[in-house]
Structure 1
Amino acid sequence: MSTTDTTEKSIALVKQAATNGSISEAASKNIQVWLTEDRYAEYRDEVIAHINDGKWQKLDDVFWTIIPFGTGGRRGRMYSIGSNAINDRTIGESAQGLADYVVQYHGGKKELSCAIAYDTRHKSRHFTELCAGIMVAAGIKVYLLDDYRATPQLSFAVRYKNCDCGIMVTASHNPPSDNAVKVYWSSGAQVLPPHDKAIIERVMNCQQIKVTPFAEAVADGRVEIVTDEVDKAYFEAAIACAFEGPRDAKILYTPLHGVGAAAVVPLAEKDGFTDIEVYGPHAEPNGDFPNVPGHVSNPENKVIFEAPIEHARKTGANMILATDPDCDRIGVAAPITTDTAGEWRTFNGNEIGAILGEYVLSKRAAAGTLTPSSYIIKTLVTTELTRRIAESYNVRCVGDLLVGFKHIAAVMDQEGPDDFVYGTEESHGYLVGQYCRDKDGAVASMLMCELAAELKAKGQSMHDYLCDLHRKHGYHREFLINLVMEGSEGMAAMQRLMKAFRTSPPKAVAGINIAKVRDYAAGTITDTATGESSKLVGPEGDLIILDLAEEGNYVACRPSGTEPKIKLYVFTRLPADQSQDLDQASETLKARLAALETDVRAYAKANS
């Protein structure tokens, strides 16, 4: 049978599969594109083999959509074929689209360059060499960090080497099945408008991917290895963020099988910490994350701390730090009292953000380096406790931002990096200093080590330190609900739920009326009592916030930009005068959070 006949037969089978419901209509269209267009010719035989074997569920999974650029770049499950999978084609399109845009944007600029780094995930090195070859073929020199390195080190490298763009090959905290590319602009931040849309346009219309063999590019200097040079400069810049104080603390650190040990440990040692133990079962760089519960190396998950806590109680550690696979986010656990052999508890991202914010601001205030122009930055779904802490130091908080650290980076450059003090987001990302434009798990870990040592010297636990902040600023508690909705059916459910929140939100949750609905996509704020809408001043994006009648209590809803889920952020607060008895305040908000979760989940189930 000829190639044409084979293709036509396969197309007929695909159409029939769509008719009988074995695959979605969208998957059928995308499969036909891969079968008929020349740019996908090298994948045609494998697509046909899947069709002949009747692998319709797999075909639907990897073809039902075209994998998008989200808040963290292009991310997803790896599979050798498919428009909705991470593979040589989709990664190649991403790099080619970036290269084409950079060349066009800079016109006749003779010397263009791109920094590239990668983490410990499966195929990260392979995708790195592919991206490097594409950039070189487009006339763009590559500065390569030729070993496992952290995402903030890539952001730093872009700035340090004056690059026009950067690529980080990582899927951050996603499962072992995933990989991704994060795309950076010359600022060292992930791409923002108008560059992001322009790059996406070229990615989606990419026809031919041109690749220079990696070995050839290294041999002739078009790929230059700069690992040692950038490491030295990065650590010099990062250690400048340290504060003076005690250094007597015993730290247990887990890189969760990622890159972090090459950044966190050397930086903490440069800061004077000598008693840092890397947790053995998590020390090996391994893309399977074999010794992490569920094989998901996410420092947000309390379960990853269970085994390290048992170890820390036996060894007398004062604190446990964890970083995700690309070391841009941290998790923290500490004993509830000063008894290291007693009960331990983890901190969520909002709590770590508040603790770090207080520490940095207090140190800057003591040093006399805060000015009327000083400011911190947070996102809309990050606790307002951080804002209140900043205001207590007469420091401005820029907090009207969508999710994504790239928005924090943009504000740094808009407002002026010299006055920037601290950036934080709910999802365990933190930045101090102006040496890069992305969250940095290594510097955040260093500062947490400093705080642990300072509190040890004072005879205070880190949990007591947080409690003091709640008494002063009001007790804040937050909760994140993840509603996983995979595949084409999940996407439809997500769209239905977001529409419901916009058009027919609940009238009350946890017995508290919803006073206003903020719709950041429509740019409106609606009074639910009167039905009247007014203009919402703020960023534009797919985010809805339901403000409850009791001030400081609200629910935010948004689809994830990197995973198939809707995220529901629940925020509660009691005023300071009702927060002096923290046990009672905790019980009050614990009950409120439980009621909010029940009502929000019920609403989501009925409307998705």
Structure 2
Amino acid sequence: MSIDANVSKSLDAVQQAVSDGKLTAAAADNIRAWLTEDRYEVYRDEVIEHIVGGKWQKLDDVYWTIIPFGTGGRRGRMYPIGSNAINDRTIGESAQGLADYVVEYHKGQKELSCAIAYDTRHKSRHFTELCAGIMAAAGIKVYLLDDYRATPQLSFAVRYKKCDCGIMVTASHNPPSDNAVKVYWSSGAQVLPPHDKAIIGKVMSCQQIRVMPFDEAVSKGMVEVVTDEVDKAYFEAAAKCAFEGPRDVNLLYTPLHGVGAAAVVPLAKRDGFTNIEVYGPHEEKSGDFPNVPGHVSNPENAAIFDEPIKYAKTKGIDLILATDPDCDRIGIAAPKTTDTAGEWRTFNGNEIGAILAEYVLSKRKAAGTLSPDHYIVKTLVTTELTRRIAESYGVRCVGDLLVGFKYIAEVIDREGPDQFIYGTEESHGYLVGQYCRDKDGAVAAMLMFELAAELKSKKVSLHDYLSDLYRKHGYHRETLINLVMEGSEGMAAMQRLMKSFRTTPPESVAGIKIAKVRDYAAGTITDTATGKSEKLAGPTGDLIILDLAEEGNYVAVRPSGTEPKIKLYVFTRLAPDQSSDLVQADSVLSQRLECLEKDVRQYAKQNG
């Protein structure tokens, strides 16, 4: 049977699968393209094999949409075929689209360049060579960090080598099944408007992927390995973010099987820390993440600290710090008192962000280097405690931002890097300094180590340090609810739920009335009592915030830009005069959070 006959038979089978309800119409459209269009020819046989094998659910999963660019680039599950999977075609389209746009944008410029780095995930090195070969074929020189390196080091490399763009091959904290590319512009930040939409246009219209073999690109000088050079410059720049103070502290660090040890440990030692131990069971660089719960290396997950805490209690450790696989985010755990063998507790991203804000601002104030012109930056779904801390130091807080550190980077360049102090987002990402334009786990770790040493010298626990902030600014508690909705059915449910929050939000949650609805897609703020809407100042994006009648209590809702889920951020607060007794305050807000989560989940179940 000829190829044409095989294709014809497969097209008939696809149509029958749609009629039988085994395949969505959207998936069928994308499969037809992969069966008939020349650009997908090399994948045709494998698509046909899936059709012959009746693998309709898998085909629907990997074809029901075209994998999008989200807040962190193009990310998803790896599979050899599929428009909704990470594979040579979707990664190749991403790199080709970027290359085509860069060449077009800089028309006439003779020398163009791109920095590329990769992490420990499966196929990261393979995708790196593919991206490098595509850039080289387009006449764009590649500066390659040819070893496992952190995402912030890639951001730094783009700026340091004065590149026109950058590519980081990583899926951050996603499961082992996933990979991705994060795309950077010449600023060292992930791509922003108008570049992002223009690049997406090139990606979606990509016909031919032109690749120069990697070895040929190296031999022609189109790929230059700059690992040692960039490492040296990065550590020199990052070390300038350090503050003076005690260094006597016992530290346990876990890279969670990722790249972090090559950044965190050298920087910490350069800053004077000698008692830092890498946690053995998590030291192996492995895309399987074998020794973490669920094989997901996410520092937001308190369970990853369970085994390290048991170990730390026997070793007199003062602080445990983890970085995610590409080392742009951190998580921490510390003893609740100064007794290292006693009870321990982890900190969430908002708590870490507030602690680091207080530490950095207090150090800058002591040095006499703060003014009303200085500012910190946060996102709309990051705790307002950070804003209150900044205002207590007479420093501005720019916080009307959508989710994504690229928006923090945009503010830095818009407002001026010389006045920038600190950037934070609730998902455990933090930045100080001007050396890069993405969150940096290594520098955040260094600052947290410094604070731990300072507090140890004063016989104060990190938890007490946070408690003092609560007494001063009011007790804040937050939680994150993830509603996972996979596949085409999940996407439909996500769209229904977001529409419901916009048009028929709940009247109250946890017994507190919803006073206003902020819709950042429509650009409106609606008073629920009167039904009147006004123009909402701020960014435009798929984000809804439900403001409760009690000040400081609200729920933010958004679809994830990198994973198939809706995220609900729940914020609660008590005023300072209600926060002197933190045990009582915690009891009040714990009960409120429990009721809020119950009510929100029930609403989502009914409307999703």
TM above 0.5, yes or no, is yes
Q: Please report how far the alpha carbon of residue 5 of structure 1 lies from its aligned counterpart in structure 2 after TM superposition.
A: 1.0
**Is 1:261 equivalent to 2:261 in the alignment?**
yes
Equivalent position of 2:132 in the other structure? 132
Q: Please report how far the alpha carbon of residue 155 of structure 1 lies from its aligned counterpart in structure 2 after TM superposition.
A: 0.0
Q: Please report how far the alpha carbon of residue 353 of structure 1 lies from its aligned counterpart in structure 2 after TM superposition.
A: 0.1
Equivalent position of 1:84 in the other structure? 84
Match for 1:461: what amino acid? S
Match for 1:301: what amino acid? N
Map 1:446-595 onto structure 2 (within 5 A). Answer: 446-595=446-595
Map 1:222-371 onto structure 2 (within 5 A). Answer: 222-371=222-371
SS at 2:373 equivalent:
coil
SS at 1:466 equivalent:
helix
The CA distance in 2 between the partners of 1:333 and 1:219, in whole Å, is 48
Equivalent position of 1:218 in the other structure? 218
Match for 1:397: what amino acid? C
Equivalent position of 2:160 in the other structure? 160
Match for 1:540: what amino acid? T
The CA distance in 2 between the partners of 1:294 and 1:335, in whole Å, is 25
The CA distance in 1 between the partners of 2:108 and 2:442, in whole Å, is 38
The CA distance in 1 between the partners of 2:525 and 2:284, in whole Å, is 50
Q: Please report how far the alpha carbon of residue 105 of structure 1 lies from its aligned counterpart in structure 2 after TM superposition.
A: 0.3
Match for 2:516: what amino acid? K
The CA distance in 2 between the partners of 1:544 and 1:127, in whole Å, is 36
Specify every segment of 5 or more residues in structure 2 that has no aligned partner in the other structure, as ranges: none
Q: Please report how far the alpha carbon of residue 372 of structure 1 lies from its aligned counterpart in structure 2 after TM superposition.
A: 1.7
Equivalent position of 1:443 in the other structure? 443
The CA distance in 2 between the partners of 1:214 and 1:594, in whole Å, is 54
The CA distance in 2 between the partners of 1:70 and 1:314, in whole Å, is 43
Q: Please report how far the alpha carbon of residue 205 of structure 1 lies from its aligned counterpart in structure 2 after TM superposition.
A: 0.4
The CA distance in 2 between the partners of 1:372 and 1:167, in whole Å, is 36
**What is the TM-score normalised by the length of structure 2?**
1.00
Equivalent position of 1:425 in the other structure? 425
Equivalent position of 1:109 in the other structure? 109
The CA distance in 1 between the partners of 2:188 and 2:471, in whole Å, is 38
The CA distance in 2 between the partners of 1:108 and 1:35, in whole Å, is 38
Q: Please report how far the alpha carbon of residue 311 of structure 1 lies from its aligned counterpart in structure 2 after TM superposition.
A: 0.5
The CA distance in 2 between the partners of 1:556 and 1:276, in whole Å, is 38
Q: Please report how far the alpha carbon of residue 47 of structure 1 lies from its aligned counterpart in structure 2 after TM superposition.
A: 0.2
Q: Please report how far the alpha carbon of residue 4 of structure 1 lies from its aligned counterpart in structure 2 after TM superposition.
A: 1.0
SS at 1:315 equivalent:
coil
The CA distance in 2 between the partners of 1:302 and 1:425, in whole Å, is 18
The CA distance in 2 between the partners of 1:372 and 1:425, in whole Å, is 22
Equivalent position of 1:374 in the other structure? 374
The CA distance in 2 between the partners of 1:107 and 1:368, in whole Å, is 47
SS at 1:143 equivalent:
strand
The CA distance in 2 between the partners of 1:493 and 1:502, in whole Å, is 14
Equivalent position of 1:21 in the other structure? 21
Equivalent position of 1:120 in the other structure? 120
The CA distance in 2 between the partners of 1:371 and 1:479, in whole Å, is 33
**Is 1:63 equivalent to 2:63 in the alignment?**
yes
The CA distance in 2 between the partners of 1:585 and 1:2, in whole Å, is 74
Match for 1:172: what amino acid? S
Q: Please report how far the alpha carbon of residue 503 of structure 1 lies from its aligned counterpart in structure 2 after TM superposition.
A: 0.3
| CA distances 1:345-371 after superposition (whole Å, capped 9, x unpaired) | 000000000000000000000000111
Q: Please report how far the alpha carbon of residue 219 of structure 1 lies from its aligned counterpart in structure 2 after TM superposition.
A: 1.3
SS at 2:439 equivalent:
coil
| CA distances 1:529-554 after superposition (whole Å, capped 9, x unpaired) | 00000000000000000000000000
| CA distances 1:319-364 after superposition (whole Å, capped 9, x unpaired) | 0000000000000000000000000000000000000000000000
Q: Please report how far the alpha carbon of residue 407 of structure 1 lies from its aligned counterpart in structure 2 after TM superposition.
A: 0.1
Equivalent position of 2:183 in the other structure? 183
The CA distance in 1 between the partners of 2:202 and 2:173, in whole Å, is 28
**Is 1:601 equivalent to 2:596 in the alignment?**
no
| CA distances 1:547-591 after superposition (whole Å, capped 9, x unpaired) | 000000000000000000000000000000000000000000001
**Is 1:414 equivalent to 2:414 in the alignment?**
yes
Q: Please report how far the alpha carbon of residue 486 of structure 1 lies from its aligned counterpart in structure 2 after TM superposition.
A: 0.2
The CA distance in 1 between the partners of 2:50 and 2:510, in whole Å, is 49
Q: Please report how far the alpha carbon of residue 401 of structure 1 lies from its aligned counterpart in structure 2 after TM superposition.
A: 0.1
Match for 1:12: what amino acid? D
Q: Please report how far the alpha carbon of residue 146 of structure 1 lies from its aligned counterpart in structure 2 after TM superposition.
A: 0.4
| CA distances 1:131-184 after superposition (whole Å, capped 9, x unpaired) | 000000000000000000000000000000000000000000000000000000
| CA distances 1:499-530 after superposition (whole Å, capped 9, x unpaired) | 00000000100000000000000000000000
| CA distances 1:408-466 after superposition (whole Å, capped 9, x unpaired) | 00000000000000000000000000100000000000000000000000000000000
Match for 2:505: what amino acid? P
Match for 1:471: what amino acid? R
SS at 2:184 equivalent:
strand
Q: Please report how far the alpha carbon of residue 49 of structure 1 lies from its aligned counterpart in structure 2 after TM superposition.
A: 0.4
The CA distance in 1 between the partners of 2:148 and 2:11, in whole Å, is 43
The CA distance in 1 between the partners of 2:559 and 2:500, in whole Å, is 13
Match for 1:273: what amino acid? F
The CA distance in 1 between the partners of 2:336 and 2:3, in whole Å, is 68
The CA distance in 2 between the partners of 1:300 and 1:488, in whole Å, is 27
The CA distance in 1 between the partners of 2:184 and 2:316, in whole Å, is 41
Match for 1:92: what amino acid? G
The CA distance in 1 between the partners of 2:124 and 2:241, in whole Å, is 30
The CA distance in 1 between the partners of 2:18 and 2:315, in whole Å, is 60
The CA distance in 2 between the partners of 1:254 and 1:343, in whole Å, is 20
The CA distance in 2 between the partners of 1:24 and 1:277, in whole Å, is 52
Match for 1:140: what amino acid? I
Percent identical residues: 81
Q: Please report how far the alpha carbon of residue 273 of structure 1 lies from its aligned counterpart in structure 2 after TM superposition.
A: 0.0
| CA distances 1:267-301 after superposition (whole Å, capped 9, x unpaired) | 00000000000000000000000001100000000
> How many pairs are equivalent?
608
**What is the TM-score normalised by the length of structure 1?**
1.00
Computed over aligned residues only, the root mean square deviation of the Cα atoms, in angstroms, reads 0.3
The CA distance in 2 between the partners of 1:97 and 1:581, in whole Å, is 57
The CA distance in 1 between the partners of 2:178 and 2:172, in whole Å, is 9
Equivalent position of 1:43 in the other structure? 43
Equivalent position of 1:99 in the other structure? 99
Equivalent position of 1:386 in the other structure? 386
Match for 1:551: what amino acid? E
Specify every segment of 5 or more residues in structure 1 that has no aligned partner in the other structure, as ranges: none
The CA distance in 1 between the partners of 2:507 and 2:109, in whole Å, is 57
Match for 1:158: what amino acid? V
Q: Please report how far the alpha carbon of residue 478 of structure 1 lies from its aligned counterpart in structure 2 after TM superposition.
A: 0.2
The CA distance in 1 between the partners of 2:264 and 2:560, in whole Å, is 28
The CA distance in 1 between the partners of 2:29 and 2:49, in whole Å, is 17
The CA distance in 2 between the partners of 1:382 and 1:432, in whole Å, is 17
The CA distance in 1 between the partners of 2:8 and 2:71, in whole Å, is 39
| CA distances 1:214-236 after superposition (whole Å, capped 9, x unpaired) | 00111121100000000000000
The CA distance in 1 between the partners of 2:202 and 2:16, in whole Å, is 32
